[in-house]
Chains A and B, each alone.
Chain A
Amino acid sequence: MSIRVRAQESNGVINVRALISHDMLVPDDDGGPHFIETVEVARNGSTAITANWNYTVSRNPFLQVELDGSSGDTVSISWTDNKGESDSTEVEVR
């Protein structure tokens, strides 16, 4: 499991791009459905965006959002799936 995140600030807006490794199994797959239900994007510890997903989000999901903020802030991404697995990571805004 991994989450790759890039957070870059320009003119007071942080552009966050996250690539999450997850198979996102649909109901017809072996072991499915097994998918990320919720992703939280937080800036400096406060939730900015909560994403709720269905299994119809593509495998190895990509998420891009924009937040007010500045370079040096921290952005964290954390997810939980429908089988209780989870992962999180934190980066400093460039």
Chain B
Amino acid sequence: MISTKRRVFLKGTLAAGTVGVAVGAGLLAPSKLLAAWPSEAFGAEGLAAAMEAVTGSSDVADGDVTLSAPEIAENGAVVPVSVESGLDNVTEMAVFVELNNQPLTAHYVLADGAHANVSGRIRMGESSNVIAAVKSGDTWYKTVQEVKVTVGGCGG
């Protein structure tokens, strides 16, 4: 119930157009990602920089995040990845591939009524750790899984 009220509050703030004020006050940092396609985060090279651009820290704690991906992917061009979390009040989710040139692959913003359960297919240039991160309340949590790639899938 508390989380429901919180969402109503957040929606109210957005509706009132005071989100800029909230960001200015540091209440929503680093949710600048909510605004538009986050070019800085997607362009970041290296896992630490990419995670910092998304979450505000390169040191994200492990938590209740489930990443479903194959242990061995024969084709790096199409690697199925699902991210799920049992945490309350999840507002953002992100998928990183550590050894891709640009680790941030996908970033999801969840509104009220959206479940913390998203699936897609990603490209991996080589065998790498895949990191799924989820923002619950004000805190990000992550999980890591290694995916071995037989044939890389980033072209070139």
- State the A residues within 8 Å of B (CB): 13, 26-29, 32, 37-38, 41, 43, 46-59, 61-69
Contact = CB atoms under 8 A, between A and B. Distances in A.
B10 interface: no
A65 B120 CA distance: 9
Interface stretch (B24-32, B55-63, B96-104, B138-146): B96-104
Interface size class of B (residues with CB under 8 A): 20 to 34
A50 B121 CA distance: 16
A50 to B, nearest CB: 4
A59 B118 contact: no
B115 A66 contact: yes
A56 B113 contact: no
Given A37-B37, A58-B77, A64-B119, A52 B114 contact: no
A49 B109 contact: yes
Contacts of A51: 106-108, 118, 120
B111 interface: yes
A52 B106 contact: yes
